[in-house]
Chains A and B, each alone.
Chain A
Amino acid sequence: MAPNEIAQKLLLQGAQNAWDMLSEEQSQKHITTGSGDLNGILGGGIHCKEVTEIGGVPGIGKTQLGIQLAINVQIPVDYGGLGGKAIYIDTEGSFMVERVYQIAEGCISDIMEYFPCHHDKSSSGQENLQPESFLAGIYYFRICSYTEQIAVINYLEKFLGEHKDVRIVIIDSVTFHFRQDFDDLALRTRVLCGLSLKLMKLSKSYNLAVVLLNQVTTKFTEGSFQLTLALGDSWSHSCTNRLILYWKGNERCAYLDKSPSLPVASTPYAVTSKGVRDAGSSSCKRVRVM
């Protein structure tokens, strides 16, 4: 066959040439994490059409970041966001709705600060900037077993077909049920592999970001025990990007461990009462009783 014909045949089968991909990538919007420094090492924020894994020890702020992303994806287009909705799949029960409300308020107050006159001009601006409307934009699934986890990931295809404005799917955490209820490790690896392929496919077909929160375990390498993300070596190949959250002295830091296009880098960040922000912001996370 002549080269043109081969190219034609491949295009018909769903392949894309690299130039088209580049222009597509450049027009992609990113989902801000709330911290400018963190966005910086991520190349602007969390990418759509990619699967990002975020791991860390308990208490470091994985759920906080997950909730922050679920709010930030909804920032209206007028204010530089994606104006999309979020799916939050909670396997551990750490989704506390009062905190979500608080983070929504923090996001709104930051928008008002950066766009003080804008919301007068924009017709729909005022009504949408209420914490309640941000909460209404998060579709929440509570998953109590690995069967349900597999079921919900399979069901997402249909759900996303019906809810085309979803731009992020967060699973908090992807590990929990698979660590405790699965005896057969080899089978677990195969099942997880299938799930990660499905998620990757969903992210590409529906142009959304998939964020998987992972737990941490210890591994014996190089003569000592080290921390590593859970679910084993084969799982670590499944995600496009990997971000590890860790303590450095008294500061929270994020380390970009894996990315197809960005260098490894780390940066400090903070969790405040408003949510995830740059380090050096007022670090008091006082909560208001509702």
Chain B
Amino acid sequence: TKISGFPSSPPVAGVLPAAEMANKLVSDMCLPPHLAHLLAARRLTTAKDVLSLPEVELMSLLDAGLATARDAVCRVSEFACPPCQTALALLEERVRLGGGGRLATTLCGLDEALGGGIPLGKLTEVVGPSGIGKTQFCLKLALLATLPECYGGLNGRVVYIDTESKFSSRRMIEIGQKSFPQIFRQEGLAQKMAGRILVMRPASLSDFTKSLEQMKVTLLQNDVKLLIVDSVAAFMSSENERGTTGFTQHPLRWALSFLKSIAELTRIPVVVSNQVRSQSNDDGYHYSFEVKRRGDGDGAERLESHLVAALGIQWAHAVTIRLVFESHSGQRFIKVAKSPMSPAVAFPFIVESSGITLLNDEGIDVSGPEITSIRCQGQNLLGLLPFENRG
């Protein structure tokens, strides 16, 4: 039985070989002839086919001894294993590539907290209630990526996937003119920058998945330096968001892991915006060993429950950086909710003609799990779960 799962993208010769380790052909592996024939006869053509089976099952499938099965697995594994690098080599590569591997957002406090800006090669999520400023943030990022390097940009193209028809060129140019007046005063520059932004408007989930499948080639051929998906949750409301029992192969799940792998392979930042929904009763709160306190007041309990659901557990594990946009006490905040190298800090901000501006670059330290909750006008909200699977 074939294991379905990762849909195979159309093979593009010579492009990003590292990504296709799982699809490496057994015939390319220079195995000893008897093994090669044995595997071919059973239609085990890729590394994935061979390695997805436990050894004992492979043994019975090949109708061979354990030693043969082990030998096959050992050789195929060696070919399918990605190369190893020392952490020092990674650091030297990062230094060599320059720019600290970041896209600066020009919001000083946020950039400092993130170690320079939005990281290249990683998936960054922006989540918050509607109207809070996520699209404004994305518009500014798109503009920044197109600017020449001397102005802190990436001097490249941007692919902006606009699923809710929120992209406004007029607004983006306005942000540009107000934030960088000296640049935009130059003749024709606005047109040049705007011309570097490719806006895609998929009408349905299948359109979206299709355009993602072609994305790898698009990104490489057009020297794209930033990919934005605003928002990823738009197609959720029309689909059944809650998986019932067991695994549901939701197409959006594939899209999300694909975005992440694209980010790493092309070494560009991928920014994804996410919506929120209000709490439901099904959200899990505690581990079995934690004592459940009764009547302890709704405050603490609700906060903890929102933490769990807001992270949309499986999705939250997948993103590297999560920026929560929220409002409370009459102010809006950007919180660095998840980042391997940042402190838990929140920055108050406003949205004005030049886009988002921080009111305070020092930031407010946030302790405990509150950093991950999303509040809107006193209520706690939750990140929209693309899928809640119970497995």
- Report A's interface with B, CB cutoff 8 A: 57-59, 63-64, 70, 88, 92-102, 132, 135-148, 150-155, 157-159, 173, 175-176, 179-185, 187, 190-191, 193-194, 215-222, 224-228, 230, 232, 244, 246-247, 249-251, 255, 257, 264, 273, 283-287, 289-290
What would be 26 A-B contacts, judged by CB atoms less than 8 Å apart?
Answer: A58-B338, A95-B87, A96-B320, A96-B340, A138-B86, A138-B88, A146-B52, A147-B22, A147-B48, A147-B51, A151-B51, A151-B76, A152-B81, A154-B73, A154-B77, A155-B81, A173-B317, A179-B389, A183-B5, A183-B249, A187-B52, A224-B284, A226-B287, A246-B287, A247-B369, A289-B100
CB <8 Å contact, A102 and B311: no
CB <8 Å contact, B304 and A247: yes
> From B116, which residue of chain A is reached at the shortest CB distance?
A289
| A151-B119 contact in complex given A136-B86, A142-B264, A287-B113, C-beta closer than 8 Å | no
Complex formed: what's the CA distance from A138 to B3 in Å?
34
| A93-B286 contact in complex given A136-B88, A179-B391, C-beta closer than 8 Å | no
Q: Sorted from nearest, which 8 A-B pairs have the closest CB atoms? A: A250-B368, A218-B284, A154-B77, A225-B284, A147-B22, A151-B80, A99-B341, A135-B88
Residues of A within 8 A of B320 (CB): 92-94, 96
Residues of A within 8 A of B300 (CB): 249
Shortest distance in angstroms between B191's beta carbon and chain A's nearest beta carbon? 34
Residues of A within 8 A of B113 (CB): 287
Q: Which residues B351-391 have CB closer than 8 A to chain A?
A: 365, 367-372, 388-391
CB <8 Å contact, A144 and B318: no
- Check if B90 is an interface residue, CB within 8 A of chain A: yes
> From B304, which residue of chain A is reached at the shortest CB distance?
A247
CB <8 Å contact, B260 and A93: yes
CB <8 Å contact, B249 and A57: no
Residues of B within 8 A of A219 (CB): 284, 390
Q: Which residues B68-119 have CB closer than 8 A to chain A?
A: 73-74, 76-82, 84-88, 90-91, 94, 100, 111-113, 115-116, 119
Shortest distance in angstroms between B123's beta carbon and chain A's nearest beta carbon? 8
CB <8 Å contact, A57 and B341: no
Query: What is the interface size of chain B, counting residues whose CB is below 8 A from a CB of the partner?
Result: 93
CB <8 Å contact, B365 and A284: yes
Shortest distance in angstroms between B367's beta carbon and chain A's nearest beta carbon? 4
Secondary structure of the A contact surface, majority rule: mixed
Complex formed: what's the CA distance from A138 to B284 in Å?
37
Mark contacts of B229-264 with chain A using CB atoms, 8 A cut-off: 1 yes-contact digit, 0 otherwise. Answer: 000000000000000001101000110010011011
> From A104, which residue of chain B is reached at the shortest CB distance?
B87
| A285-B51 contact in complex given A215-B317, A228-B287, C-beta closer than 8 Å | no
Q: Which of A217, A244, A283: most chain B Cβ within 10 A?
A: A217
| A58-B87 contact in complex given A96-B119, A155-B77, A287-B341, C-beta closer than 8 Å | no
- Check if B313 is an interface residue, CB within 8 A of chain A: yes
CB <8 Å contact, A135 and B87: yes
| A227-B284 contact in complex given A135-B91, A145-B21, C-beta closer than 8 Å | yes
Complex formed: what's the CA distance from A70 to B87 in Å?
10
Residues of B within 8 A of A146 (CB): 22, 52
Mark contacts of B319-340 with chain A using CB atoms, 8 A cut-off: 1 yes-contact digit, 0 otherwise. Answer: 0101000000000000001101
Complex formed: what's the CA distance from A27 to B151 in Å?
59
Residues of B within 8 A of A138 (CB): 86-88
Residues of B within 8 A of A191 (CB): 52-54
CB <8 Å contact, A227 and B87: no
> From A217, which residue of chain B is reached at the shortest CB distance?
B313
Instruction: Indicate which residue in A96, A141, A148, A158 contacts B341 across the interface (CB closer than 8 Å).
Output: A96
- Check if B285 is an interface residue, CB within 8 A of chain A: yes
CB <8 Å contact, B340 and A94: yes
Residues of A within 8 A of B77 (CB): 150-155
CB <8 Å contact, A180 and B390: no
Q: Which of B122, B304, B314: most chain A Cβ within 10 A?
A: B314
CB <8 Å contact, B308 and A57: yes
CB <8 Å contact, B81 and A58: no
CB <8 Å contact, A58 and B311: yes
Instruction: Indicate which residue in A141, A157, A179, A194 contacts B84 across the interface (CB closer than 8 Å).
Output: A141
Complex formed: what's the CA distance from A287 to B21 in Å?
35
CB <8 Å contact, A58 and B90: no
CB <8 Å contact, B369 and A250: yes
